[in-house]
Amino acid sequence: MNAALRAVVRAALGRGAEVIGFNHGYEGLINDESRNLDSPSVGGIIDRGGTILRTARSAAFMTREGRDQAMAVLIKNGCEGLVVIGGDGSLTGALKLQEEFDYPVCGVPGSIDNDISGTDFSIGFDTAVNTAVDAIDRVRDTAYSHERVFVIEVMGRRNGFIALEAGLAGGAEAILVPEMPFSLPDIGAELLEAASKGKRSSIIVVAEGAAKADDVREALSECTGFECRAVVLGHMQRGGSPTAFDRVLALRLGHLATNRLLSGFRGEMAGLAGNLLVSHPLTFVLSSERQIDPEKLLLSEAMAQ
């Protein structure tokens, strides 16, 4: 998000606009936690995780009264347009400002779950996947040395994008995602068959929305008799220095969103299709759901043989 913020600020300054940032997202907007952003203020942040503006949930912004107050703050500060960086909740808030006040907004997709329609990648996803893969690689060393089964839980309440990508890259023996049904007894039988052929350790990657790591561990221990361990990666996937891919993606999307907004377009979200930059209406983005790639699910099954 810092890389995207850097791109927004410098793209706007390059076109003669002034930039104001609001700390703590919509909550900070309601409370007028504004700060002037110039080129030096976004220097040296491209390698930092998170956001220097920080973020917060805002129950107040979900009400019309809260949005009225937010609009009053924007007018007070002379803001003529707003770039919103975030997930579906943040983008929904941006669309509300446009629909209710005819206010110019443009979105940048920021979600490690990669669940936002209208873009192949959201900023943060690649970094989260690489963090998970690094953990899987480290755990595999222990699994191999001690001849154990490890169940690794990654983030993904409603989808398995992180689990599938990290599981494939980490060579997992099974990947459990919310989108696809699975049978733990069947997975246990597959582990037993692999053990009969000499395999002494395995990695199971599970998205948090599919099952809990401890429940999977307990079930597999019971049906196989193997010593199983559970590892929950949790919020460590959200932090750390962003990957080169995420940094460049954030720069491109932030730059595009700002230029679209300054060129008179509104109610859009910047995105990536293949390697091409695109822009879609927020109404489309928020009315559809991004689906997991079924070919990758088939690939994961083939690789587990």
- Per-domain boundaries in the chain: 2-124+242-287, 125-239
Q: Please give the average per-residue pLDDT across 212-237, as a whole number.
A: 91
pLDDT digits (tens, 9 = 90+) for 42-82: 999 999 988 999 999 999 999 999 999 999 999 999 999 99
- pTM for the complete prediction? 0.93
* Beta pairing partners, 36: 20
Catalytic residues: 113
Domain 125-239 in CATH 3.40.50.460? The answer is: yes
CA geometry: angle at 304 spanning 299 and 305, to 5°? 105
Helices (H), 171-228: 184-196, 213-224
SS3 state at 65: helix
Q: How far apart are CA 215 and CA 184, in angstroms?
A: 10
Whether 125-239 and 2-124+242-287 are alike in CATH topology: the answer is yes
105, 281 contact by CB (below 8 A): no
Say which CATH class 2-124+242-287 falls into. Answer: alpha beta
pLDDT digits (tens, 9 = 90+) for 90-134: 999 999 999 999 999 999 999 999 999 999 999 999 999 999 999
